[in-house]
Structure 1
Amino acid sequence: MDFYFTGMYRIASLVFIICFGFGAGAFGQSGKDIQRIRKEALEAFKPRFTVFYRTSNPKMSLRPSKYVDGYGIPTWMSTQGDENLRDGGRSASHYGDGFDSRILEAKMDKRTANSYLSAKGVDVKGKVRTEDGTVYWTFPEHELFRLEAKVSENEDGTLGLRFKLHPKKDGYYSVAYTGAPSYALKAVDEIWQPMIWSEKRFPNGPHMTLAFRAPLPTTLVERKGITYGVLAHPDEFPFDPLPTVSNSRFGIAVRNAEGKAQAQLFAPVMGGTGSKMAKGEDFEFSVVLAALPGDLTEAYESLARNHYGFRDYRRNSISSLNKTLDRMVNYANSSFSQFVDSLKGFGYSTDVPGAVKNVSSLNALEMAMVQDNPDMFWEKAYPMVEYMLSREKFLFSLDPKQKNQHPSRRLLGPVAPVSELVALHDIFGGENPFLIQMAEENFLKTRVKNLDVAEREDNWINALFLYKSTKDEKYLTKAKSGADQYLRNRVERKQTDFNDEYGKSFFFWIDFTNRWIELVELYELTGEERYLEAAREGARRYALMCWMAPKIPEGDILVNKGGKAPAYWYLKSKGHEQMSVPETNVPAWRMSEIGLTSESSGTCSGHRAVFMANFAPWMLRLGKYCNDDFLMEIAKAAVIGRYRNFPGYHINTARTNAYESADYPLRAHKKLSVNSFHYNHILPMASMLLDYLVTDVWARSNGEISFPSTYIEGYAYMKNKFYGHEEGRFYSEKGVRLWMPEGLLEIDNVELNYIAGRKEGKLFLAFSNQSPEDVKTTVRINPVLVRHLEKSGYTVYTDNKLTQEKKSLGRAGFTVNVKAKGLTAIVIEGVDFKSELQNKLSQETNLTADNTEYKSLEFGGAKAMLFKLGGFAPRAYIYLSDDDSQYSSVNLHYKKPNGKTVTIKDAIYPFEFTVELDTESPVPEFWFSATDKAGKRDVSKKFSFGGVVN
């Protein structure tokens, strides 16, 4: 056994001691500390501004830059161009949801991205005057304006600054506060400007980030244990309407006109809302000046908590996570999910019409196993396994002319990542050794699995997962030595560019941090603290991408005005119908994006926040290991109380509760217009929810309720743990299998989530309360799934302590008490279970073979594999790599035990065949016949896997 399964509980208790107190930040300071912080701020921040003025409209708009893939930055009309802007149109990768043609295809000539060249700037320096205990900054009069400012003290030691501009002429104005400390880049420890400049990746020019794209509306500069920031006051950043380019009232920047690192804020944005001013029309704005002890991520947390009210703010409210998961799995198995049976994939019509896309088979397989769901297994999971073993890329299109997002139409697989091949091998009990053969062969390759991004497979991450399966020490040695080199090159050195070999295209946010998720996996395998510390650092940098603003107002907000949900511009342009949804008042907190992230550098101008928060269970787990409440509360904020079913992809356009509805996704594609639907996301989101449920109970039980996992790599950020293939532990009970079929429990209070497990004669239930109030409610168990309830008894654990010995259960259900944010566990004895898939899938296959379960054939570049599926009959999966440019039709022939020849005809590409083998019969011989494009018929040699099915 590896260290993870035998020692993780000991690791957890040790780590809580090691990491305790790291994340306290300024929000937990004593009165003496606050005085010191205030003194530092008063000395650090100077009365300096730059006031910009021009008579004509500068036509501020976003344009793509040269920094990272498709990232747009604010620009203004100018007399000259800007070398930091990218001209040349859009690539094939830049088509689809979130890519705005208004940005990507706009002209670049005579535009500048330099904030200081947006208009004529006037630098003003003031004097400090104190009157009746109030600090004023006074400035000399100017022919264009008069400027006033007042400084106050905040409870956390930061300063409040409010300035007033009195225009003396009509025109366009912007005021930049430029009095924060400034340093040469080499003199600072770290900088941050959303969304892409972090660590020591520094803008090439004084570029601005508009308010709508600021997770927290400040830039930060860390130097010698102090982090400086200039934060927009929450009153300046309205919650409603949803922040957009057009309503951004301010901008922030980290590089100043002299090329130094300095926190700056511009309000209003030149050419933006409020920038056009009439003579005598005063403009006022408030900011927070912060000089906080600790590192940059601690300052971020402190400002988020103290000024934008971040906290554990969400609860289930509308649905338990279990009910949401059940609905989501049902949706995935419905016709609305756009699964194309003939192509074995989910439709991808939102971005690439006619294409299908899968990024993993493991999500469907996990749902089938944990929910004991044979329909999910046979209709989705197994066909998707075949897809991942045969396709060249995740995105498959039969249209040879389709170029958007670089699809493939070739069967040159496997496209499955090395980690997925290893996981499939382990999930099916090691009965399909050819999967390890495939994994080891692909470990030596560089592959293009998505878009046009080449990925080298020979790395420490894949070595880690190969070791977990094979226990071959060479892979553990490679995993640790590679990871240690990675720590030296990537973690211990602040990054100065976008050339991280693990960053791929620097598109998704996971590319901008270290590989903290995989470092968690390595820590759980080895127990070595350096991997945990590096993972925590990466996760806290990932938290910089999580929305902390705008501040959530008290009470309700009005949504769906006029009975219409907002129509997303991208779908509107494709002819989708605007949805009718009742106008209603909704608690503002339910509509908040806080805790979520936007999708990526290339689409964050169009996607406010995506619901695919696959990072959340990892953050929750890491937060528990390190006693880091910030990470744990972000994780909860990202998942809890947001939807009753699959909610589509993102929040955009305007605030709405349309996606909260249980029937929201149950519509034809063109009738969905609130947000985009990427149907291949449904099951990865289901895995995310299951991972969160299991991890939440693991954390609340201090690791005493825990189930083994393997790893779902998926694509980009769609990474989660896979559960259900191995037995786990429920307090002192070992050998418990995770078992959560749909409709297992009916609970009268939505605030309780649960996980369930079983072993011979026992049902195990753990209830987690998502609310800040104690819950007392009735729970009823489905008697069809769990039998003999009337003869059973149960034991109760409250917050990990045995509080009630055996008590009779009966058919009517039982009352459960769960403390606020607490955990109550129930162990029920004397029952039996109805299992439709789990039991049989976990059995061994009685098949004697001659190690030829996988064959490469000359005919048509065919591949053949014999797949063992526990107690179910094995399947032969056979496909041709040659396509319809070679053959017009292909037939597969084999003989049944009675001597009858069976012929399966396939006249439509792709040419692939699945044969359920007869039990207690010899594995048959197979052969092909095919007709080529000229009408000539060709017949292959016979081939066999050998062996007998017993």
Structure 2
Amino acid sequence: MTKTGRILLIILAAAGACRPAQAQEFRVKPDHTVVFGGQHLLPDYLPEFTVLFSAADPQLRMRPAGIPDVQYNVATWLSDRPELNRTDRRADQSGDGFDDEILEGSVESRTADLFNAGRIIVVRPVSHRAEGTDKVTFGYPENDLFSIAAELTADTATGRPLLTYRLTAKTGGWYSVGFTGFAGRDPKRTDEIWQPLIWQEKRFPDKSYLTLAFRCPVPSAFVTYRNATYGILAHPAEFPFDPLPTAANSRFGVAVRDRQGLASPMLFAPVPGGIGSETAPGGKLVFSALLCGERGDTTDALQNVAERLFGFTGNRNNALGSLNETIENMISYVLGPYSRFLDKEKGCTYATDVPGAVKNVSSLNPLEIAVLNDNRTMLLERALPVYEYVLSREKLLFCADSTQNIQYPSRRMNGPCCPVSELTALSSILKGSAPYLLSFAKKEYGSTRIRNLDVVEEGCTWKNAIHLYRATGEPGYLKKAVAGADRYIRRRIDTPAADFRDPEAGGFFFWTGFAPKWIDLLEMYELTGDKAYLRAAHRGAKLYTQYVWYSPAVPDRDILVNPDGKAPHYQYLKSKGHAQMDAPAERVPAWRLSEIGLTPESSGTSTGHRGIFMANYAAWMLRLAHYTGDGFLARTADHAVIGRYRNFPGYHINTARTTVYEKADYPLRGHMELGANSFHYNHIMPHISLLYDFLVTQALFRSGGKVDFPGEFIEGYAYLQSKFYGHLPGTIYGREARLWMPTGLATPADRQLNYISAVDDDALYIVFMNQSAETVETDVALDYALSGHSDGGHYRTQVIGGSGASGQLADGRFTVRVAGNGIAAVRIETPTPVRPQLAALFTAETRWQTPYAATQDDAVRCMRVGFGRAANNVFVYFTQDDTQLRKVWFTVDGRTTEDTDYPFEHTAPIDGERTEITVKALTRQGRIIEWETLELKK
């Protein structure tokens, strides 16, 4: 019997992640609609279910959605109402993350519309009954396929309204039960919507796509109306942590577009044709979902759900080792043979995706590593050749094989291929010793170029104006930057995106294209101090969190991995003949295996990449947390980086949970021996920059701005943005010092301490950051060969900032105490000034009057390349290729070198104030061509 208007007080349990301050109440109206009270901001809900039934297997398969200009695969089914069309495969849809079965699979008789996936039976309650004070059960009419019942109660773990259905099949077949009780709203009248992974703000799906569980950062879709956000969310117990979520084991899906094309959060479980969907006569299906309502927008709802329902409240720790150890291991790796840097080609092999190609990201990465690590080998063997590469190649991906078209490589020597920001950063870092860099930057500012894939980049943008202003101080550039950024905020922040046509997105593949340009807006804030840019950057970063994993909940237990003594074998690499790797069977805490805090690579590869380790966003989120106090962004940054690996971990988590990526020797093997995840060798040096950026920014964040070092912008491409440090001094609690972090300088006995280090004329500074929640007191070993201290001496140490204490330095050791999750800056007196060997790199030198020259026909270009006392060279290259030339000769100051291998280029040391370069070539037709003499001089 229905008890009209009965008030049910649901006393929320004290246990669990969510502990509301007051009980929630609801009432059930005579029409069985549930009306919620309290602070949960839920609209009325009718416990209606939409059941999809198919007598035959609907054959769930992922296929390209066919959304214009967006690479995204969606769930599809066989249907008698098909509407899916074939999408032509692009040349860049090859390599790691692209599944041939998806991209080449048949679309005949297929639908991507959830409501075409089977026969639709909508069931609405015909009765309800209160059972005690904390439960209401709902009755439904019988039909020939199944019987169904539902109950509404308070979840004992979270306190949220919990709706559970129980279906018993009368007829065998494939079932899916949809929670479809929220009334639909005109999407144009909503504040915003969210359906992972690509529909956010006002981008409303063009059909009723279903997002499977494995692609849900939190397991719900959301609608925001009048600053209240609501959704229906899979109960955390319905979303297991192990095994790793995949399409095959997804037990539910979420959607936001209902049958009428209105906005309504929905959840379907099981997925039509998915695991658990096939049900025999008498078989039962049961699923529980939480009704979720939050004040604020969809990003606020995501944060609240992550924190209160999925336990995203603490930080990770250095169980594997410190970040300093990891950085040092990676530097050793990048200088060794396994990093596959090809000296002749001046780049990292890109054979994982494009056989025969090499690719670099930025010359700033190896230059920063060389400077911070005070590493001459890194400077000469990585920074110098990559510098020459980015100034000479037409695109970042270079392949001499003219038949190769995967990812659109170039074989032309028509640089620079680096962005304007890199040219201006290099100019500033090198103290103007290479004025051609600014000339190149201004030329690129006035043109367009394709640097990566097939993305056309405009030169004259407000983002490039930022960097030209920093490098030149010319007020016109600042005016353009401000005007452009203000227009962008009005168009892209103040006005929610409603489609996938943003001309400044740079394409819709990487998440940096879907979200606003929040990192550039943060750069604008740091340039101008205008809080409007900070607010806009903060909004953009919050939207970016909608691509970060915050579920499933990480259990507080150990998990067995590599049970057969083998690491998971990544299918893409298996298909290319890579060996399956040995890995010890071991039980480890679940949090160490977690993808929480990471993102999938992109919209187009999110079906196969669970989480990528290339989390450059972490330092930028931490920087925003410093300016805004946003602890959620700080925790996200921490989870993205901390406690994950001891060396370069490859690219991503995939297939199954494993510890193989954690090992210090993981990357130290041949390419075909790496079978657990893909290796993009051009990512290694940017990954080191990522970690440096995180450490320096963590010191800024934890010190409240009292440890602060200036940085230049490393743009790279896609996600590979970081700050460049080391070229200018910064401050450590009021003392000016220059970053200096040579390998082995300091070794804390407790691995929970990360640090940055710096020097001035009479002291060494080590800023320790404790990654654990407990106070750490430990010995620190100091390498006297680096620090200049003497055995037998006793040296004073002093904590000059943060919370902690330190003991006297003697016999190469001192003690330090750092509070849990705290910071302690230690000043150590030095007997003599520490002089980093690469410090002269940033000393202004006599400028060259002519540091760059080219022949009149632009067939030959040359430039002086100077890195302080470490390098003083001339770099010469031909813009013509081996279809025109067979052999070339370079003569520099009377010394001749012959070259028969394309690309035709030459580097030679110079030592005078004037250098002459002459070149000649043998053409394919057998003719000798000589060009005019080029001259570089001071």
The TM-score, its normalising length taken from structure 2, stands at 0.95
- Distance (Å, rounded) in 2 between the aligned partners of 1:524 and 1:443: 22
Q: CA deviation at 1:469?
A: 1.1
Query: 1:421–1:106: structure 2 CA closer, same or farther, 3 Å change rule?
Result: same
Q: Deviation of residue 874 (structure 1)?
A: 2.3
> Is this contact kept in 2: 1:786–1:831, CA < 8 A?
no
> Does residue 925 of structure 2 align to residue 927 of structure 1?
no
1:563 aligned counterpart, secondary structure = coil
Distance 1:180 1:157 in 2: 20
Q: Cα distance 1:732–1:50, how it changes in 2: closer, same or farther (>3 A)?
A: same
* Partner residue in 1 for 2:132: 132
**What residue is the counterpart of 2:879 in the other structure?**
881
CA distance in 1, matches of 2:403, 2:863: 31
SS of 1:308's equivalent? coil
How much does 1:478 deviate?
Answer: 0.4
Q: Secondary structure at the match of 2:168?
A: strand
**Cα drift, residue 873 of structure 1:** 4.7
How do residues 307-346 of structure 1 correspond to structure 2 at under 5 angstroms? 307-346=309-348
Q: How many residues align?
A: 908
How big is the shift at 1:839?
Answer: 2.3
User: How far apart are 1:86 and its partner, in Å?
Assistant: 4.7
1:418-567 correspondence to structure 2 within 5 Å = 418-567=420-569
Change (3 A) 1:27 1:40: closer
Question: Which of the residues 914, 920, 924 maps onto 2:907?
Answer: 914
Q: Partner of 1:6 in structure 2?
A: none
Aligned position for 1:811: 811
Question: 1:731 matched to which residue of 2?
Answer: 733
Root-mean-square deviation over aligned CA pairs: 1.7
1:117 aligns with 2:108: no
Match of 1:177 among 176, 179, 193: 179
Q: 2:683 matched to which residue of 1?
A: 681
How far did 1:824 drift?
1.1
Does the Cα contact within 8 Å between 1:372 and 1:835 map onto a contact in 2?
Answer: no
Q: State whether residues 37 and 158 of structure 1, in contact with CA within 8 Å, keep that contact through their aligned partners in structure 2.
A: no
Where do residues 612-651 of structure 1 align in structure 2 (5 Å cutoff)? 612-651=614-653
Report how far residue 922 of structure 1 moved: 3.5
CA separation of 1:800/1:650 partners in 2, compared to 1, >3 Å: closer, same or farther? same
Rounded Cα–Cα distance in structure 2 between residues aligned with 1:621 and 1:430: 28
How far apart are the structure 2 equivalents of 1:290 and 1:182? 16
Q: Distance in 1 between matches of 2:754 and 2:887?
A: 52
Mean CA deviation greater in 909-918 or 372-381? 909-918
What letter is aligned with 1:739?
Answer: W
Q: Structure 1 802/102 Cα, relative in aligned 2: closer, same or farther at 3 Å? A: closer
Tell me which protein shows more helix as a share of its residues: 1
**Does the residue aligned with 1:523 lie in a helix, a strand or coil?**
helix
Tell me, in whole angstroms, the C-alpha distance in 1 between the residues paired with 2:643 and 2:40: 41
Deviation string, structure 1 residues 724-778 (Cα, Å, up to 9, x no partner): 11011111212x1100001111111110000000111210000000001110110
Which letter does structure 1 place at the counterpart of 2:109? K
SS of the residue 2:784 aligns to: coil
Secondary structure of residue in 1 paired with 2:538: helix
Matches of 1:913 and 1:157, distance apart in 2:
70
Which one-letter code corresponds to 1:110 in the other structure? Answer: S
Residues of 2 paired with 1:210 and 1:906: CA distance?
56
Distance across 1 between alignment mates of 2:164 and 2:489: 44
Name the CA distance, whole Å, in 1 between partners of 2:108 and 2:808: 79
Greater shift after overlay, 174-183 or 687-696? 174-183
Q: CA deviation at 1:664?
A: 0.1
In 1, Cα distance between equivalents of 2:689 and 2:279 = 52
Structure 1 vs Structure 2: percent identity of aligned residues? 44
> Which residue of the partner structure matches residue 21 of structure 1?
none
Give the Cα separation in 2 of the matches to 1:798 and 1:700.
Answer: 14
Task: After TM superposition, give the deviation of residue 65 of structure 1 in Å.
Answer: 1.2
Residue of structure 1 equivalent to 2:751? 750
**In structure 1, the residue corresponding to 2:543 is in which secondary structure?**
helix
Within 1, Cα distance between the matches of 2:89 and 2:603? Answer: 15
Pair 822,922 (structure 1): closer, same or farther in 2 beyond 3 Å: closer
Instruction: Measure the CA separation in 2 of the matches of 1:29 and 1:462.
Output: 48
1:905 lines up with 2:898 in the alignment: yes
Helix, strand or coil at the partner of 2:716: coil
Contact 1:845 1:868 in 2 (8 A): no
**Contact 1:845/1:872 (8 A) holds in 2:** no
What is the aligned partner in structure 1 of residue 30 from structure 2? none
Give 1:584-623 correspondences, 5 Å limit.
584-623=586-625
The correspondence of residues 100-111 of structure 1 with structure 2, limited to 5 A, is 100-111=99-110
Please list every run of 5 or more consecutive structure 2 residues that lacks an aligned counterpart in the other structure. 1-16, 27-35
Task: Find out whether 1:209 has 2:211 as its counterpart.
Answer: yes
CA deviation profile, 1:96-138 (whole Å, cap 9, x unmatched): 1000110000111210111011000111111432121211122
SS state at 1:44 partner: coil
Distance in structure 1 (CA, Å) of the matches to 2:892 and 2:440 = 26
Q: C-alpha separation between the residues in 2 aligned to 1:755 and 1:41? A: 46
Q: Distance in 1 between matches of 2:233 and 2:338?
A: 45
Q: Distance in 1 between matches of 2:430 and 2:85?
A: 49
Match of 1:3 in 2: none
**Could you tell me which amino acid in structure 2 is paired with residue 221 of structure 1?**
V
User: Aligned equivalents of 1:170 and 1:484: distance in 2?
Assistant: 60
AA aligned to 1:226 is: A
Partner of 1:893: 891
Segments of structure 1 that go 5 or more residues without pairing to the other structure are: 1-25, 896-900
SS at match of 1:31: coil
Judge conservation of contact 1:504–1:511 (CA < 8 Å) in 2: yes
Corresponding residue for 1:943? 934
Q: How far off its partner does 1:467 sit?
A: 0.6
Greater relative contact order (CA < 8 Å, ≥ 6 in sequence): 1
Separation (CA, whole Å) in 2 of partners of 1:842 and 1:146: 77
Q: Name the CA distance, whole Å, in 1 between partners of 2:803 and 2:211.
A: 51
State the SS of the aligned residue for 1:241.
coil
Shift of 1:396: 0.4
Distance in 2 separating the partners of 1:33 and 1:281: 35
Q: CA deviation at 1:935?
A: 1.9
- How far the C-alpha of 1:157 sits from its partner, in A, is 5.6
Higher mean alpha-carbon deviation, 384-393 vs 935-944, is at 935-944
Q: Which residue of 1 aligns with 2:301?
A: 299
Query: For residue 764 of structure 1, what is the aligned residue in structure 2?
Result: 765
Cα drift, residue 325 of structure 1: 0.5
CA 1:355–1:185: 2 relative to 1, 3 Å: same
8 Å Cα contact 1:136-1:151 kept in structure 2: yes
- 2:63 aligned with 1:56: no
1:544-581, Cα deviation, whole Å (9 max, x unpaired) = 11101111112100100110100000000000000011
Partner residue of 1:829?
829
Query: In terms of mean alpha carbon deviation, does 353-362 or 28-37 score higher?
Result: 28-37
